[in-house]
Amino acid sequence: MKSKRPRSHDRILRLLDAQTRALSAQEIFVALRERQQALGLATIYRALDALKLDGQLQVRTQAGESLYSRVTQPDRHHLTCLQCGRSVPLDRCPVRDLEQQLQQSHQFEVFYHTLEFFGRCKCCSAAASQDCAESS
């Protein structure tokens, strides 16, 4: 019963697949035009909404603006140092079991989750951080 994907959805998904960061609707509009695949802004908004409800896109709000990216498989979580900006990826998802539980206990289909840890890394915490100079 899967209907064929509209061309607008295809264009947006392919565009976002090629991105390393999340884009706003406005940026998607501009990027598609540069690729000679222009879509109207209203069409883009409609497509983004449909893709989001389909669990294919992840939305993050930053400074009042919605940013869209593909749902990443497998999901990645980071420890981000507020001082030096270094961000360390975790090698596994710490909440996968919780997600399973929630799906069952709430009869809720989870498409994705976000989880980030912020603080200060070892190097920035150390008063004399000579062993953490540029490396790692």
Exactly one of 67, 69, 75, 132 binds Zn ion (CB under 5 A); that residue is 75
121 is a contact residue toward Zn ion (CB under 5 A): yes
101 sits near Zn ion (criterion: CB under 5 A)? no
Asked if 88 contacts 77 with a C-beta cutoff of 8 angstroms, the reply is no
Angle at 65 between CA 29 and CA 80, to 5 degrees: 115
How far, rounded to the nearest angstrom, does the alpha carbon of residue 17 sit from its chain's CA centroid? Answer: 11
> Interface with Zn ion includes 27 (CB under 5 A)?
no
The answer to whether 19 and 60 have CB atoms below 8 angstroms apart is no
Amino acid letter, 8: S
Residue 51 binds to Zn ion (criterion: CB under 5 A):
no
In the complex, minimum distance from the CB of residue 128 to Zn ion, in angstroms, rounded to a whole number: 14
Question: Torsions phi, psi of 28, nearest 5?
Answer: -65, -40
> Shortest approach of Zn ion to residue 68 CB, angstroms?
19
One of 93, 102, 112, 132 touching Zn ion (CB under 5 A): 93
CB of 84 to Zn ion, least distance (A): 3
Cα separation, 108 vs 50, in Å, equals: 19
* 71 is an interface residue for Zn ion by CB under 5 A: no
Output 8 or 56, the one with its CB closest to Zn ion.
56
Which tokens sit at 10? 């295809």
* Residues within the interface to Zn ion (CB under 5 A): 75, 81, 83-84, 93, 121, 124
